[in-house]
Structure 1
Amino acid sequence: MPTAASARHDDAVIRAAREVFAEHGMAAPISEVAQRAGVGVASIYRRYPSKTELVEQVRIAAFRLVIDEAEAARAEEQDPWQALSRFMHRCLREGSGIGTVLPQPEAQHPRSVVFRDLQQRVAEVIEALVEDAKLAGELRADVDWPDVLLLFKHLNPSLPTSEPRRAELRARYLGLVLDGMRAEGAPLRGPAPDTAEWRALCDGRTA
């Protein structure tokens, strides 16, 4: 069973890896991750034998954060639109790491069962938020749950400024996006991604 110290170690490594790989891609050395996390290189390799596995764990951590935020928003907000809005704001808040653009894994690297299970759960919890808001007449009918996930990517580009400033900009542009998601908006061009296309985009392959 993990100790509190090992959990803190893992959290520090995951945060550092997310930042380093987002900034420098897979060419970044593990030593850079270790330096930012304040741990030894050997300790990272004992826990994560390869960069590819470490990147997958970063994605798994992001999936868990998305699920937690979606479930909390749906449970605690009575108004479906407020639940969806809260969820998106929380996912893009300062330091969340959700939506960070990471390098794609090697094509031959198989996704773990944990990864696939959490990926599916992410789809389910966001779909529930989206459908609730549609049924309430607050979210436009032509927005689907994959749109929300791809918006996280669009709203969180790599910018040459501090994370607090990036968070301010994310919140600013999310406000514009949420206004456009309201039910009274003009029809959107083109269909939303379907499940197969969303998975392909997540996996870095052609649908």
Structure 2
Amino acid sequence: MKATPPAPMNGRKAQAARNDQVILEAARAVFVADPGAPVSAVAERAGVGISALYRRYAGKEDLLRKLCADGLKRYIAEAEAALADEGDPWTAFTAFMRRVVDADVHSLTINLAGTFTPTEDLYRDSAHASELATRVFDRARNAGVLRPGLNVADMAMIFDQLSAVHLGDETRTSQIRRRYLALILDAMHLTSAEPLPGPAPDAEEITRRWTAG
């Protein structure tokens, strides 16, 4: 049976949806650059009145939680896509890493963590994302395509480091991130390499990234 397409939104609903998207895009740009920025900076960048913003979000914390939730959902979707890829394990693993870096997921999750109070939904999504990431990593490790001594926490730290690269120009930032991801992936693929110095981050150190201070 052919699916019935969703009914088109009326003019007012369509405009509200567009306004919401503009606000979220502005919030992403403002808070990724400066998590301490006031919510008024979001309204100014979005070109909407502050009252229009507050009709959608009760305050800055609501906006930050929404951005973080969107980032987690994108990460989960990319991990699920990697696990559904039944092709070459190394290709699936590297494609996952590239998609996460290109989506700038960690600018919306870890980089904003500690700037708002997480909800139970966020904790649940974070745990699910972590479980999926472990499965993605374990698949590559079990296939023998990863350097000995790596673990899933190393992957998380690599995402953190690359998300910290901001050059003021989106295109150039993306180029530089891809450049260093390529170098990192080569290093991760050196299956005959010497052991890495020091242990990988432990669970407590990874979780600490979500807390303020």
Asked whether the two chains share a fold, i.e. TM above 0.5, the reply is yes
* 1:16 is aligned to 2:26: yes
* 1:195 is aligned to 2:203: yes
Alpha-carbon distance change, 141 to 197 in structure 1, aligned in 2, over 3 angstroms = same
Q: Do the aligned residues in 1 keep the contact of 2:82 with 2:96 (CA within 8 Å)?
A: yes
The structure with more radius of gyration:
2
Which moves more between the two structures, 45-54 or 84-93? 45-54
Equivalent residue number for residue 6 of structure 2: none
Q: Which amino acid aligns with 1:70?
A: A
Equivalent residue number for residue 74 of structure 1: 83
* 1:114 is aligned to 2:118: no
Equivalent residue number for residue 148 of structure 1: 155
Q: Do the aligned residues in 1 keep the contact of 2:76 with 2:129 (CA within 8 Å)?
A: yes
Which moves more between the two structures, 124-133 or 188-197? 188-197
* 1:46 is aligned to 2:55: yes
Which moves more between the two structures, 142-151 or 81-90? 142-151
Equivalent residue number for residue 102 of structure 1: 112
What is the RMSD of the two structures over their aligned residues, measured on CA atoms? 2.1
Q: Do the aligned residues in 2 keep the contact of 1:23 with 1:158 (CA within 8 Å)?
A: no
Q: Deviations over 1:150-198 (max 9, x none)?
A: 2112112243331011001111000000011112232112222222221
Distance 1:44 1:64 in 2: 23
* 1:136 is aligned to 2:143: yes
- Structure 2: runs of 5+ lacking an equivalent: 1-8
* 1:25 is aligned to 2:35: yes
Q: Which amino acid aligns with 1:163?
A: E
Equivalent residue number for residue 63 of structure 1: 72
Q: Do the aligned residues in 2 keep the contact of 1:73 with 1:87 (CA within 8 Å)?
A: yes
Which moves more between the two structures, 44-53 or 128-137? 44-53
* 1:204 is aligned to 2:212: yes
TM, length-normalised to structure 1: 0.84
TM, length-normalised to structure 2: 0.82
Alpha-carbon distance change, 158 to 21 in structure 1, aligned in 2, over 3 angstroms = farther
Secondary structure of 2:105's counterpart equals: coil
Q: CA deviation at 1:103?
A: 6.5
Distance 2:56 2:30 in 1: 18
Identity %: 35
Distance 2:142 2:126 in 1: 24
Q: Deviations over 1:124-154 (max 9, x none)?
A: 1110110000110001232222221221121
Distance 1:161 1:195 in 2: 33
Count, aligned residues: 197
Distance 1:10 1:77 in 2: 37
Which moves more between the two structures, 11-20 or 135-144? 11-20
